[in-house]
Structure 1
Amino acid sequence: MSATHTFSNLIPDAILDAVESTGLWSDSRIYPLNSYENRVYQVGIEESSPVIAKFYRPGRWSEAQIREEHETLLTLQEQGTPVVAPLAFEGKTLFLHNGIYFALSPKLTGQHPEADNLDQLYQLGELIGQLHQAMSTPFTHRVSVSPLLQIEQAAASILNAEYLPQRLKPDYQKQIARLHEMCVAQLHNYWPTQLRPVHGDSHRSNLMLHNDQFHLLDFDDCQNGVAVQDLWLHLTQTENPRQQLSEIIEGYESYLPFDIRELGLIDVFKSARIVNYAAWLQQRWHDPAFVKAFPWFASEEYWINHLNELKSCEREWGNMSR
């Protein structure tokens, strides 16, 4: 059964049956939340607060990888790190219903960080420093980051499919080759001998200001990586990116020293993220939710803009590490 077909079976009754299989009693109110890789719903509970039900995309992570994510979150929660951990029922946090793994977590309300708020950037740096200090032991089952391999595989996938317009392919191949060469050189200059556990996707939408404290959400992409992976996503295209970076690092170093050599990896991770995003949309294009949410993906304009993004990576290379 394909992932798309499996998700298509997540009708309201199936969602309620899954939630109630844990022993909770739903009030039948279901609200889909903004998630495409997995399926996430807010589900009302009788005489209690709503819960968040997350249904994992089949075939993406193994049971061992999901359990390691949950164990990490429970440990972080016990240590006082502000994260949202899964709810346990009779000692279990991961459940299987109709062939789909799912988990429940408490609903957290609040606001996402402001992109250019320097005080908040300092607080985010503190939070990520606290997280990295608490996650000191590398993952056993989760993936380890390999940005060069990611670029190679994503670009090959794009070039071998029919979505990238034929007339753009020669220019795309040249641009990917150029960025690949620059990434190889940068990784030769510095790549840590030991990777460390990181959140892996700590963009603003995965952070929530709740009761005057930032919380990290959605550890779906937690992995072995490098510290800067969890920091650079908070740098925005403003007039003072260096000041933003300074605030983040200063907050981070309230908990851990930051190896300044990692700044040279920002361009590598940025390039990989841009190529991977296009390849991800292409890979999931059979999923009706993607066609509805990203209708512009199949247009020539999208691919022109994507190519221009890659060219911008080359033009701006090294700005953050100088």
Structure 2
Amino acid sequence: MSSDDSTSGNKAAHTTPSASHAFSTLIPDVILDAVESTGLWSDSRIYPLNSYENRVYQVGIEDASPLIAKFYRPERWSEAQILEEHATLLQLKAAGVAVVAPMEFDGKSLFRHNDIYFCLSPRLVGQHPEADNLEELYQLGELIGQVHLAMQSTPFIERISVSPLAQMDEAVRQILGSKYLPEKLKPIYKKQVSKLREMSEARIHAYWPTQLRPVHGDSHRSNLMLHEGQFHLLDFDDCQNGVAVQDLWLHLTQTENPRQQLSEIIEGYETYLPFETRELDLIDVFKSVRIICYAAWLQNRWHDPAFVKAFPWFGSEDYWLNHLSELQGCEQEWGNISR
């Protein structure tokens, strides 16, 4: 991307970030040194996997199957928060739940190299779920129900607790205070998000659970994998105290009639736990928050060259117009699921 500051056409209204960023020291030799610091020997084969918030690599191991090395973005989670994620995964694995837990070496699962936390886990080969496959949706509901059941007795202490209005407010504050959103669109944007906040607040006021539960927090299709006939839930990086429907609604892909999909997911979920149907009214809230927070996430990570390469369209006037259109769509579709 060029450093053109023009806001016309499709050009982004910002400059290319510098090479200095959280993972600038994470070169191949450093990755191999980190892996081998656990006592393993690498065959020097490294393959980067699709991850932007963190850095994830498949690393070859001598006389063994390749492993996955995950390097956590510095200053995002504390050591205690990451260890709580690991403890949860190890607990789920011990309970027979289909997750991928970090490997332990001398009783440790989290390591630090060059001031970056990392962990290793087994490689899982498989396929992501099909978007509209009702049988698979039932199976996903079963897995999420099993995960929630196994986690329900130990609420998170170190991880965050979901707070939709606070998350929305902070994301909007960052977006409106930035240089990326064109000035001429800021009044329109402010009016649109204010409307969605008002609608979200009304929904939350009508119903919010008296007690939050531990949830995955980001269980979209890419974080699920069908391996040897069984779905596995991956990447608990955003695990938190939240609401059950947070882990279900992301699998709804039919905007006109999502009820059939929802029915399959909930039926599978209730194999393990009862589902509070009043939570369905919160889907519109979580959808609005996710769309707004996604834009803020791109903006906040724009100093990372990986984001410039992966999302070259961010920051253009067209991007913000499409973002506004998504938010308007949320308002227009409000209530479709809960009707």
* TM-score greater than 0.5 by the shorter chain: yes
Q: Does 1:87 align with 2:96?
A: no
Runs of 5+ in structure 1 lacking a partner? none
Letter of the 1:90 counterpart: D
Mapping of residues 276-295 of structure 1, within 5 Å: 276-295=293-312
Letter of the 2:241 counterpart: N
1:42–1:52 Cα contact (<8 Å) kept: yes
SS of residue paired to 1:7: coil
Runs of 5+ in structure 2 lacking a partner? 1-17
Q: Does 1:266 align with 2:307?
A: no
Q: Does 1:204 align with 2:207?
A: no
Q: Does 1:135 align with 2:151?
A: yes
- Alignment CA distance shift 1:174-1:6 (3 Å): closer
Query: CA shift at 1:167, angstroms?
Result: 1.3
Partner residue of 2:254? Answer: 237
Q: Percent identity?
A: 77
**Which one of the candidate residues 174, 178, 188 is aligned to 2:191?**
174
Distance 2:254 2:180 in 1: 29
Using structure 2 for the length normalisation, give the TM-score: 0.93
Identify which of structures 1 and 2 has the higher relative contact order when contacts are C-alpha pairs closer than 8 Å and 6+ apart: 2
Q: Does 1:256 align with 2:281?
A: no
Partner residue of 1:307? Answer: 324
Query: CA shift at 1:165, angstroms?
Result: 1.1
- The number of residues matched between the two structures is 321
Letter of the 1:293 counterpart: A
Distance 1:108 1:239 in 2: 34
More helix by percentage? 1
Using structure 1 for the length normalisation, give the TM-score: 0.98
- Alignment CA distance shift 1:164-1:6 (3 Å): closer
Q: Does 1:157 align with 2:174?
A: yes
Query: CA shift at 1:4, angstroms?
Result: 5.2
Query: CA shift at 1:3, angstroms?
Result: 11
Distance 2:187 2:162 in 1: 28
**Which one of the candidate residues 249, 264, 274 is aligned to 1:247?**
264
Distance 1:100 1:156 in 2: 29
SS of residue paired to 1:317: coil
Distance 1:6 1:180 in 2: 33
Q: Does 1:109 align with 2:101?
A: no
SS of residue paired to 1:318: coil
Q: Does 1:297 align with 2:314?
A: yes
Deviations 1:40-89 (A, max 9, x none): 00000000000000000000000000000000000100000000000001
Partner residue of 2:292? Answer: 275
Query: CA shift at 1:237, angstroms?
Result: 2.9
SS of residue paired to 2:120: strand
Distance 2:277 2:254 in 1: 21
- Alignment CA distance shift 1:64-1:4 (3 Å): farther
Query: CA shift at 1:239, angstroms?
Result: 4.7
CA RMSD, 1 decimal: 1.2
Partner residue of 1:75? Answer: 91
Letter of the 2:108 counterpart: K
**Which one of the candidate residues 22, 26, 45 is aligned to 2:61?**
45
